Amino acid sequence: MQVNNKLLEKYNIYIGEENYISLSKFISNGSFSKVFILVDEHTHTHCLPILICSCPVLGNAEVIEIESGENSKTLETAAQLWYTLTELEADRKSLLINLGGGIISDLGGFIASTFKRGISFINVPTSLLGQIDASVGGKTGINLDNLKNQIGSFVNADATFIFPKYLKTLKTKDLLSGYGEAIKHSILNSNALWTKLIQTPAEKIFDYPDLITEIMQVKLEIVDNDFSEKGLRKSLNYGHTVGHAIESVKLKNNNSISHGEAISHGMVIANIISELLEIHKIDFKVINKKILQIFPSIKFTDKEHSQIIDLLKHDKKNSHGNLNFSLIKDFGETIIDHPVDTSTIKKALEIYQSL
C-alpha cells in the first residue's frame, strides 16, 4: 500500500520523530491565547516530559489531568473539564492538545468542539489505538451510562502529530488493544496488508512507522470519501456492533476488557454471522484462528448474553427497528447496513463460545 502524502497534508497529519519541529511551528504560528494539554496519569508521567523536552514552546502550557480508563468518558468528566477551562480563563482563541490514547482523543476532541462553540485542538496520540484510529477521522464522543459514544460530534483536529516512539511507553496489553483495530483496518483493505500486519508482532510495531502509516491511512481514505458516515465510512464499524456491546457489558459487570480486545471478538462474531447468512467469499477460519490466538475467547454468562442483545438494540447504526451490521464479504469488500435478526446473533454467540 502506497502512502498518500497529499491526503496526510490535507488533514495536517505529521508522522515521525522529526515533526516536533513542525509541532513547535504550529503552536508558535497559531497566535493562541492559551495552550492546554489534556493528559491522564500515565501520559502525564511517561509522555508529557518527552513532549515538553522535545517542544520547549510548551513549557508554559496548562496541564489538565483526568483519570485513565473508559470511566472517564462521561458527562460528569466533560462538565468538570468545561468548568476547569472556564476557571483557567480559556477563550475561543485557546488551543487544547490531547496527549494520550483513544479515550483522550475522543473526550478531548468533544470538549474542544463544544467549549465556547468550538476551540482549536490537536491530537498527539500515544497509544497504537490512538495513532491508527482514534486521533484521525473527526469523530469525538463520550458514553451515556454504559452506551458507547452516544454523545459526540464530527470535527477534525486542526492537526495530528504521530510519534511512534511513544508506543515504547506502553505495556503489551495496551499495544494489543490497538493491534485489534489494526487487524480490522487490514482486512478492510487487502489480503496483502493483512499478511504484512500479522507478520509483525504487536510488541515490535513501533519499529515499523511505515506500517503504522499504512494502517492509519486505511481509515483516512475511507473517511475522506464519507466524513459524516452516510455510506462507506460505515465499513469501519466492522466488529464494533457486537464488540461495543461486549465492552459495555464487561465494564458494567466490573470485568472490563480493552476496546481492541472487545472489537476483535466482535470481528470473530461478525465473521460467524457472515457465514451463517452465507454472504462471504473469504475463508474466515484462518482469520478467526489468528485473532483468537492473540485474544483468547472469553466466556459470557446467560445474563451477559441477554445484556449484549439488549445493548445491540440501542446501537447507533440501527434504523427502522433493524439491527444493522457491517459485514465482510472479502478482503477489501464490506456489506454495510445489513439487517441481522436476534436469532442469528444468538446463534453466532453460541458458536463463538464453542471455539
Q: Is the pLDDT of residue 339 over 70?
A: yes
At residue 16, does pLDDT exceed 70?
yes
Q: How far apart are CA 159 and CA 276, in angstroms?
A: 43
Task: Report CA dihedral (28, 34, 38, 44) to the nearest 10 degrees.
Answer: 70
For the chain, the average pLDDT equals 93
What is the percentage of the chain residues whose pLDDT exceeds 90? Answer: 80
Residue 350 backbone dihedrals phi, psi, to 5 degrees: -65, -45
Question: For the segment 125-153, what is each residue's pLDDT rounded down to a tens digit?
Answer: 999 999 999 999 999 999 998 788 889 99
**103 neighbors 190 (Cβ within 8 angstroms):** no
**What number is the average pLDDT over the span 65-84?**
95
Whether the pLDDT of residue 316 is over 80: the answer is no
Angle of CA points 185, 17, 94, to nearest 5°: 85
Burial 250-287 (b: 16+ CB within 10 A, else e): bbeeeebbbbbbbbbbbbbbbbbbbbbbeebebebeeb
319 — pLDDT class (breaks 50, 70, 90): low
The residue that leads in pLDDT, 196 or 251, is 196
| Residue 320 reports pLDDT greater than 70 | no
3-state helix, strand, coil in the chain (%, to 5): 55, 15, 25
- As a whole number of angstroms, the distance between CA 8 and CA 213 comes to 10
pTM above 0.85, yes or no: yes
Q: Are 99 and 51 in contact (CB under 8 A)?
A: yes
Q: Which residue has the higher pLDDT, 71 or 105?
A: 105
pLDDT at 318: 66
Q: What is the pLDDT of residue 83?
A: 98
* DSSP track, 294-343: HS------HHHHHHHHHHHTT-TT-BTTB-EEEEEEETTEEEEEEE--HH
pLDDT in tens, 177-194: 999 999 999 999 999 999
Do residues 120 and 30 make contact, with C-beta atoms less than 8 angstroms apart?
Answer: yes
Rounded average pLDDT over 306-330:
82
Torsion over CA: 270, 310, 223, 32 (sign): negative
Q: Are 122 and 60 in contact (CB under 8 A)?
A: no
275 versus 250: the higher-pLDDT residue is: 275
Lowest mean pLDDT among 6-15, 62-71, 235-244, 248-257: 248-257
Report yes or no: 3 and 15 within 8 Å, Cβ to Cβ.
Answer: no
Buried b (16+ CB within 10 A) or exposed e, 105-116: bbbbbbbbbbbe
pLDDT at position 34 over 90: yes
Over the stretch 91-130, which tens digit does the pLDDT of each residue have? 999 999 999 999 999 999 999 999 999 999 999 999 999 9
Compute the distance between CA of residue 313 and CA of residue 45 in angstroms, rounded to an integer: 40
